Chains A and B, each alone.
Chain A
Amino acid sequence: MPNQANTSDIQFRQASVEYNFGFLDEYAKKEVRRSVLKAIAIPGYQVPYSSREMPMGRGFGTGGLQLTLSLIGKQDTLKVIDQGSDDSVNAVNLRSFIEMTCPGIDTTTKVSEANLIQSRHRIPEQALREDQVLVLQVPYPDALVVVEPSEDKRKIMHGEADYSRLLVKLYEDIVKFDEITISHRYPTRINRHYVIDSSPIPRWDVPKMNDSRALILLGAGREKKIYAVPPYTLAEPLEFDDVPFRVESFDDETDKRRTCHRCGCDHSFLDEFVDAISGEKLYQCSDSDYCDEQLKARSVKQGLEG
């Protein structure tokens, strides 16, 4: 992809030679890498690491960024997603920063072309492959923080796989609201032991973590934690026997599945927009690459039929 239009080529090249490849020094990368291996070996356990200062505010994806910068090499092709889209502010700026500090890498907006995908708030609709690695940016890594303020105690609870208080919280939700009120960051149990905060992905994406073909790494820069869901690993959202986990419903009042107004897709996660002029509600695929692919497939099909 072309670099950001407002950065001239010369400035861009000058900036890139001033930094080590990947911005971080090699010692920082090695520490992140060692933590990644521990995270893979203990699925769902939050490995502490000394999150470095990055030239952006903590909470804007510094954890995911440090993971990406520690993993990426010149042969890699990167895709950066923010809320399903490659064009929103966080994605554009992170991609531009990585392009500047990692000369020689390729970037793409297509899931199929990328081998390293950094994402905020979504897992791509298209199933990932074994050779791909998904890096998720995480603001709050600990699912137990809603029931226990002390990190020392939370670490013991995690070690003992004691999630009774979290289950009570979910139960109380059902008693009060007839529904578990966690819409995103849904607590998910990995390999029957650790419960993770699944990062701010919608419930829709949680089942994609189960038995995933790709390795999923989660990085929290502000909270200084790295954790992982290895490939082919059990990832079960917390639920009760009589209240099963369910994903968002996109049915309308007549129980008909809403479709994307752009590509017509009836099986993807939809964003709701309000048309500024007519005031009408519109629905569109949240995953912009998937929407483009569906649109292309539809036009090819129409072309063939025509």
Chain B
Amino acid sequence: MLKQDLLGAHVNPIWLADTQQALFNSLMQALSRPGQLENWTKWLENSPVYLAVLATLLDGEVSLADVDGLLKDDHWPLLQAQNVHSEQAHYALCDGAKAISFQPKLGTLSSPDFATTIILKVSKLDTHHGDIRLKLTGPGVNGETQVSVSGIDQAWLEQRNEWCSAFPLGIDCILVDDTQIMGLPRTTKIELIETTQNEDLN
């Protein structure tokens, strides 16, 4: 794999075509199987996972809103995406620990694909332990599955359920922590079964 540019400078693998092919396949599996965590550590080389997700999906044809200022200025020319307001964006990058500040596009009845995909950064995704335990059902889930998410404002989950209440309208989410991703397409039914945030305070 070519990891140097023409002048010999090191190129981070997330910008290379074959890494993006592998990352996309992992992303496709994640979105096909909600609740399944995909670990991206081997591809990252210190890049944040959300940047790798954006690098895999974006080019000049689509728009991005960096709602909570997670990106650095030098990421934008590499991503090539148009920088637009969050309410018009095809993709929105948000910090799950912060409050929701915008209304994403939900698509239209005849074109539900005109909806925003939200890349939501949380502090930890885990199969067993975390602040909020979720039960997931719906397409892609064999029966039901459970997953724990830490570092997310509970309002995000409630608002997401509200946005996705009238299928086929809705938003699709890609949850990321420091090393893993998890897909939450609009078809997934999320049930909050346990929250340990309050117990920690006690």
Contacts and interface: CB of A to CB of B under 8 A. Distances in A.
Interface of A: 20-21, 26-27, 29-31, 33-38, 40-43, 45, 47-48, 71-75, 130, 133, 152, 155-156, 158-160, 191, 193-194, 215, 230-234
B110 interface: yes
Given A34-B62, A73-B18, A232-B142, A215 B110 contact: no
A243 B76 CA distance: 58
Q: How many B residues touch the partner, as a band?
A: 35 or more
Contact of A47 (B28, B113, B185): B113
Contacts of B24: 33, 71
B33 interface: yes
Interface in B86-113: 108-113
Contacts of A233: 139-140
Contacts of A130: 33
A116 to B, nearest CB: 9
B187 A215 contact: no
A43 B108 CA distance: 16
A152 B110 CA distance: 8
B18 A231 contact: no
Contacts of A71: 21, 24-25, 28
Given A155-B111, A159-B109, A37 B172 contact: yes
A37 B31 contact: yes
Contacts, number: 107
B195 interface: no
B73 interface: no
B168 A45 contact: yes
Interface of B: 17-18, 20-22, 24-25, 27-29, 31-33, 56-62, 108-113, 117, 139-142, 167-168, 172, 185-187
Nearest to B22: A73
B172 A41 contact: yes
A41 B59 contact: no
A30 to B, nearest CB: 5
B168 A42 contact: yes
A96 B160 CA distance: 46
A42 B112 contact: yes
Contact of A26 (B17, B62, B117, B141): B17
B183 to A, nearest CB: 8
A159 B59 contact: no
Contacts of A152: 110
Nearest to A48: B113
> A-B pairs with the 8 shortest C-beta distances?
A159-B109, A41-B185, A155-B110, A233-B139, A73-B21, A41-B172, A38-B113, A230-B140
